[in-house]
C-alpha cells in the first residue's frame, strides 16, 4: 500500500512539472486555444498542453518498463498515432476528413490485432441479444466501428473544465477494476493535470489528450468486456455514446453538416442552465456518467443504479434535443403584415368582425 501511494506522488509530481513546463515554453509556440463567443466559454487564450503532458508521461511509463496496461505493440502504435494526430490538430487545425482517415487507419490496425489475439472468444458471446458467430465478416465491422467512433466521441465531450479528464478518471477506475489493473503512476499524473484544469483552467486537454485517452480506453474496454459481455461496453461508455448520438441527431434534424460545430452537446446545455458555472455542471455530468458504469461492477444494487443513471442520461438528452432541435424549428418569426393588419384595416371592416385570409 505504501509503495502504491509513493507511485501516486511520483506520478503527480511529473504530471505537475510537465504541465507547468509545457504551459510556459511550448504553448506560446502555437498551442493556444483562442476564445470563441459562439462555442467556447473561456475568456482568454488557454494552452492546449494537458494532453501533451499525459502523452509524455505515458511514454515515460512505457519506457520505464512499468507498462501496467499489458498492451501489445499494435496497441501502442494506435495510441501514439492518435496522440500525434491530435497534437498536430491542436497546432494546425487539421480538416475533419484527415482526422477521420487517420482514425480509420488506426481502427483497421487495432481490429486486425484484436481479432487475431482474442481468436474465437469473440464468437461465443451475445451482443444486444444476437449471438456473434465466430465469423470475422460479422465481428470485424463492429470492432472497427468501435475503435473509430469511441476516440471521436471522447474528443467531443471535451468541452468544459474537468469533464473529459474527470471522465478519464472514472474510466480508469472502472476498467482497472474489471481488468485487475493497478495504475498509480497514471492516477497521479491524471490528478495533477486535472487540478490544473478544474475548476479554473490553466490548460486544456486538447485533441492530443482526448484522442489518445479515447483510443486507450477503447482498447481497454475491448480487453475487459469483449470476450465475455460486449453489452457492458454500451453501459460503461454510455455518456459519450449518448452525447455524440444527440449531436448527430440535432444536426441532421436542422439540416446542418455533421462537421459544423455548434452548441448541441450535453455540456453546452448544462452550462447554460447553471449560468456558466463549470464547477456545478461538471460534477452533475460526471455523476450521470458514472451511474451506468456500475452495471459492470459486483456492487450491491448496481443494476438498479445503473438503469436509473441511463434513464436520467436519456431524459436529459431528450430535453436537449427538444430545446435545440424541435423548439428551434418551431421558433419562426411571424410575418410583419400579421401584426400591422389590425391597424391598416378600415374601421368598418374591423367592427364587422370580418377576417382577412392571408
If asked whether residues 215 and 262 sit together in one domain, one would say no
pTM, to two decimals: 0.89
Residue 357 lies in a domain: no
If asked whether residues 212 and 250 sit together in one domain, one would say no
If asked whether residues 65 and 146 sit together in one domain, one would say yes
Q: How many domains does the chain have?
A: 2
170, 195, 229 - which closes a domain: 229
> Residue 338: its pLDDT value, please?
43
Residue 352 lies in a domain: no
Pairing of strands 32-33, 46-47: antiparallel
Nearest to 111 by CA among 153, 71, 139, 90: 139
> Residue 227: its pLDDT value, please?
82
C-alpha of 300 from chain center: 28
> Residue 61: its pLDDT value, please?
84
If asked whether residues 193 and 317 sit together in one domain, one would say no
- From the CB of residue 28, how many other CB atoms can be counted at a distance below 10 Å? 11
> Residue 255: its pLDDT value, please?
86
Identify whether the C-beta of residue 110 lies closer than 8 Å to the C-beta of residue 148. no
Residue 349 lies in a domain: no
Write out the chain's pLDDT in tens, 358 residues. 667 888 899 999 999 999 999 999 999 999 999 887 665 666 789 999 999 999 999 998 888 776 567 789 999 999 999 999 999 999 999 988 888 899 999 999 999 999 888 765 665 677 887 776 656 677 889 999 999 999 999 999 999 999 999 999 999 999 989 988 878 888 899 999 999 999 889 999 999 999 999 999 999 999 999 888 999 999 999 999 999 999 999 999 988 877 777 889 999 999 999 999 999 999 999 999 999 999 999 989 999 999 999 999 999 999 999 999 998 776 655 444 444 434 333 444 333 343 333 3
Identify whether the C-beta of residue 145 lies closer than 8 Å to the C-beta of residue 103. no
> Residue 155: its pLDDT value, please?
94
229, 263, 295 - which closes a domain: 229
If asked whether residues 215 and 246 sit together in one domain, one would say no
If asked whether residues 80 and 223 sit together in one domain, one would say yes
Instruction: Give, as one character, the DSSP assignment of residue 140.
Output: H
Residue 339 lies in a domain: no
If asked whether residues 241 and 198 sit together in one domain, one would say no
Residue 346 lies in a domain: no
If asked whether residues 70 and 214 sit together in one domain, one would say yes
> Residue 106: its pLDDT value, please?
97
If asked whether residues 155 and 223 sit together in one domain, one would say yes
Residue 353 lies in a domain: no
If asked whether residues 184 and 76 sit together in one domain, one would say yes
Residue 177 lies in a domain: yes
> Residue 260: its pLDDT value, please?
76
> Residue 357: its pLDDT value, please?
35
229, 249, 277 - which closes a domain: 229
Q: Say what angle helices 238-253 and 266-273 make with each other, to 10 degrees.
A: 90
If asked whether residues 251 and 304 sit together in one domain, one would say yes
> Residue 68: its pLDDT value, please?
61
Domain assignment of residue 264, given as a range: 237-332
Residues 6+ apart with CB under 8 A from 205: 48, 50, 51, 54, 158, 164, 165, 193, 197, 213
If asked whether residues 224 and 265 sit together in one domain, one would say no
Residue 350 lies in a domain: no
Whether the CA torsion 59, 61, 63, 66 is positive or negative: it is negative
C-alpha of 335 from chain center: 42
Residue in this structure with the C-alpha cell 444527440, named with its chain if needed: 246
Amino acid at each position: 500500500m505504501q509503495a502504491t501511494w509513493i507511485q501516486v506522488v511520483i506520478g503527480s509530481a511529473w504530471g505537475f512539472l510537465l504541465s507547468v513546463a509545457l504551459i510556459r515554453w511550448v504553448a506560446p509556440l502555437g498551442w493556444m486555444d483562442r476564445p470563441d463567443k459562439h462555442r467556447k466559454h473561456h475568456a482568454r487564450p488557454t494552452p492546449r498542453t494537458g494532453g501533451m503532458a499525459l502523452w509524455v508521461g505515458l511514454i515515460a511509463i512505457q519506457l520505464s518498463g512499468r507498462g501496467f496496461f499489458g498492451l501489445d505493440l499494435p496497441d501502442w502504435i494506435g495510441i501514439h498515432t492518435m496522440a500525434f494526430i491530435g497534437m498536430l490538430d491542436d497546432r494546425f487545425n487539421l480538416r475533419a476528413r484527415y482526422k477521420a482517415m487517420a482514425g480509420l487507419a488506426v481502427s483497421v490496425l487495432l481490429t486486425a490485432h484484436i481479432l487475431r489475439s482474442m481468436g474465437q472468444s469473440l464468437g461465443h458471446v451475445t451482443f444486444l441479444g444476437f449471438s456473434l458467430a465466430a465469423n470475422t465478416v460479422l465481428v470485424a465491422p463492429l470492432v472497427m466501428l468501435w475503435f473509430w467512433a469511441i476516440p471521436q466521441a471522447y474528443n467531443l465531450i471535451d468541452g468544459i473544465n474537468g469533464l473529459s479528464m474527470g471522465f478519464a478518471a472514472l474510466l480508469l477506475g472502472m476498467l482497472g477494476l474489471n481488468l485487475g489493473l493497478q495504475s498509480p503512476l497514471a492516477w497521479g499524473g491524471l490528478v495533477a493535470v486535472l487540478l490544473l484544469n478544474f475548476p479554473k483552467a490553466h490548460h486544456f486537454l486538447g485533441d492530443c489528450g482526448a484522442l489518445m485517452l479515447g483510443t486507450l480506453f477503447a482498447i481497454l474496454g475491448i480487453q475487459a468486456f469483449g470476450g465475455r459481455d460486449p453489452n457492458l461496453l454500451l453501459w460503461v461508455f454510455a455518456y459519450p455514446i449518448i452525447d455524440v448520438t444527440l449531436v448527430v441527431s440535432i444536426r441532421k434534424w436542422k439540416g446542418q453538416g455533421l462537421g459544423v460545430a455548434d452548441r448541441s452537446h450535453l455540456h453546452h446545455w448544462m452550462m447554460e442552465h447553471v449560468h456558466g458555472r463549470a464547477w456545478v455542471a461538471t460534477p452533475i455530468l460526471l455523476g450521470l456518467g458514472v451511474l451506468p458504469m456500475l452495471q459492470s461492477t459486483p456492487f450491491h444494487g448496481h443494476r438498479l443504479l445503473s438503469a436509473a443513471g441511463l434513464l436520467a442520461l436519456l431524459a436529459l438528452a431528450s430535453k436537449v434535443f427538444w430545446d435545440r432541435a424541435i423548439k428551434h424549428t418551431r421558433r419562426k418569426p411571424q410575418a410583419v403584415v400579421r401584426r400591422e393588419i389590425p391597424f391598416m384595416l378600415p374601421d368598418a371592416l374591423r367592427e364587422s368582425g370580418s377576417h382577412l385570409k392571408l
